Amino acid sequence: MNLWARFRSWSAAMLRRSRMEREMDEEMRFHIAAHAATLMARGVSQQEALRQARVEFGGMEMTKDGCRDAVGVSFLETLFQDLRHGLRSLLRSPLFTLVTVFVLALGIGANTAIFGVVDAVSLRPLAYRDSGRLVTILMNGDNPVSVANYIDWRDQSRSFAAMGAADYWSPNLTGVESPEHITGLKVTQSLLPMLGIQPLLGRLFVEGEDKEGADREVILSYRLWQRRFSGDRNVLGKPIVLDGNAYIVVGVMPRGFQFAPFWATRAELWVPNAFGARIHDRGGNSLRIFARLKDGISLQQARAEIAGITERLERQFPGTNRNVLVTPLKEKVVGPIQTPLLVLLAAVAFVLLITCANVAHMLLARSATRHREVAVRAALGARRGRIVRQFLTESLLLGSVGGALGLGLAILGARALIAMSPPNIPRVQTVAIDLRAALFLLSATLFTSVGFGLAPALQASSVNVNDTLKEGGRSQSEGVGRNRLRSLLVISEFALALVLLIGAGLMIRTFSALQAVDAGFNPHNVVSMVVSVAGTKESEPARRAIFYRQLIERIRSLPGVQAAGGINHLPLAGDQWGSSFVVEGRPRPRPGESPRAIYRMVTPGYFSAMRLPLLRGRDISETDDVNAPGVVIINQRAAREYWPGEDPIGKRISFDDDEAAPTKWVTIIGVAKDARQSDWAAAPSPEIYLAAFQNHDFLGDSGSQVASHVSYITLVARTSGDPAAAAPAMKEAVWSLDRNLAISEVLTMDAVVADATAQPRFEMQLLTIFAAVALVLAAVGIYGVISYSASRRTHEIGVRMSLGATRRDVLLLIVHQGMRLAVAGSLTGIVGALLLSRLMRKLLYGVQPTDPMTFVVVATGLAVVAIVACYIPARRAMRINPMAALRYE
Q: Which residues lie near another protein (CB under 8 A)?
A: 23-24, 26-28, 30-31, 33-35, 37-38, 56-60, 62-63, 66-67, 69-72
The nearer residue to another protein, 32 or 299, going by C-beta atoms, is 32
The nearer residue to another protein, 26 or 518, going by C-beta atoms, is 26
Q: At its nearest, how many Å lie between another protein and the CB of residue 25? A: 11
Q: Which helix (H) or strand (E) holds 220?
A: strand 217-220
Helix H segments across 380-479? Answer: 384-420, 435-461, 465-470
- For the four alpha carbons of 131, 132, 134 and 140, in that order, the dihedral sign comes to positive
Q: At its nearest, how many Å lie between another protein and the CB of residue 14? A: 15
Q: At its nearest, how many Å lie between another protein and the CB of residue 113? A: 48
Q: Which residues, at least 6 apart from 868, have a Cβ–Cβ distance to it below 8 Å?
A: 779
Q: How far is it, in rounded angstroms, from Cα 500 to Cα 493?
A: 11
Kindly report whether the peptide bond that precedes residue 378 is cis, defined as omega within 30 degrees of 0. Answer: no
The nearer residue to another protein, 30 or 888, going by C-beta atoms, is 30
Q: At its nearest, how many Å lie between another protein and the CB of residue 41? A: 11
Q: Cβ distance 794 to 854 under 8 Å?
A: no
Q: At its nearest, how many Å lie between another protein and the CB of residue 373? A: 22
Q: Cβ distance 730 to 555 under 8 Å?
A: yes
The nearer residue to another protein, 59 or 832, going by C-beta atoms, is 59
Q: At its nearest, how many Å lie between another protein and the CB of residue 21? A: 13
Q: How far is it, in rounded angstroms, from Cα 135 to Cα 260?
A: 12
The nearer residue to another protein, 61 or 701, going by C-beta atoms, is 61
Q: How far is it, in rounded angstroms, from Cα 190 to Cα 169?
A: 18
Q: Cβ distance 561 to 606 under 8 Å?
A: no
Q: At its nearest, how many Å lie between another protein and the CB of residue 58? A: 4
Q: At its nearest, how many Å lie between another protein and the CB of residue 433? A: 45
Q: Cβ distance 445 to 105 under 8 Å?
A: no
Q: At its nearest, how many Å lie between another protein and the CB of residue 100? A: 37
Q: At its nearest, how many Å lie between another protein and the CB of residue 870? A: 52
The nearer residue to another protein, 25 or 130, going by C-beta atoms, is 25
Q: How far is it, in rounded angstroms, from Cα 499 to Cα 858?
A: 9
Angle of helix 94-118 versus helix 384-420 axis, rounded to 10: 50
The nearer residue to another protein, 28 or 834, going by C-beta atoms, is 28
503, 505, 511, 515: CA torsion to nearest 10: -170
The nearer residue to another protein, 65 or 210, going by C-beta atoms, is 65
Buried b (16+ CB within 10 A) or exposed e, 713-751: bbbbbbbeeebeebbebbeebbeeeeebbbbbbbbbbeb
DSSP states along 1-58? --HHHHHHHHHHHHHTHHHHHHHHHHHHHHHHHHHHHHHHHTT--HHHHHHHHHHHH-
Q: At its nearest, how many Å lie between another protein and the CB of residue 378? A: 16
The nearer residue to another protein, 34 or 542, going by C-beta atoms, is 34
The nearer residue to another protein, 123 or 380, going by C-beta atoms, is 380
- For the four alpha carbons of 519, 525, 526 and 529, in that order, the dihedral sign comes to positive
617 three-state secondary structure: strand
Q: At its nearest, how many Å lie between another protein and the CB of residue 70? A: 4
Q: At its nearest, how many Å lie between another protein and the CB of residue 45? A: 19
The nearer residue to another protein, 27 or 679, going by C-beta atoms, is 27
Q: At its nearest, how many Å lie between another protein and the CB of residue 463? A: 23
H and E: helices and strands count for the chain: 28, 24
Q: Where are the beta strands (DSSP E) in 88-183?
A: 134-139, 160-169, 172-174, 180-181
Q: How many CA atoms within 13 Å lie on the side-chain side of 108?
A: 34
Q: How far is it, in rounded angstroms, from Cα 602 to Cα 622?
A: 11
The nearer residue to another protein, 44 or 834, going by C-beta atoms, is 44
The nearer residue to another protein, 62 or 729, going by C-beta atoms, is 62
171 three-state secondary structure: coil
Fill in the DSSP letter of residue 528. Answer: E
The nearer residue to another protein, 59 or 193, going by C-beta atoms, is 59
The nearer residue to another protein, 77 or 152, going by C-beta atoms, is 77
Q: At its nearest, how many Å lie between another protein and the CB of residue 53? A: 8
- For the four alpha carbons of 684, 685, 686 and 692, in that order, the dihedral sign comes to negative
Please name which of 478, 430, 217, 465 lies closest in space to residue 333, comparing C-alpha atoms: 430
The nearer residue to another protein, 57 or 643, going by C-beta atoms, is 57
Q: At its nearest, how many Å lie between another protein and the CB of residue 876? A: 50
Q: At its nearest, how many Å lie between another protein and the CB of residue 72? A: 7
Q: How far is it, in rounded angstroms, from Cα 734 to Cα 715?
A: 10
Please name which of 427, 528, 416 lies closest in space to residue 122, comparing C-alpha atoms: 427
The nearer residue to another protein, 30 or 75, going by C-beta atoms, is 30
Q: How far is it, in rounded angstroms, from Cα 157 to Cα 139?
A: 17
Strand 687-691, strand 630-635: pairing: antiparallel
Q: How far is it, in rounded angstroms, from Cα 77 to Cα 13?
A: 9
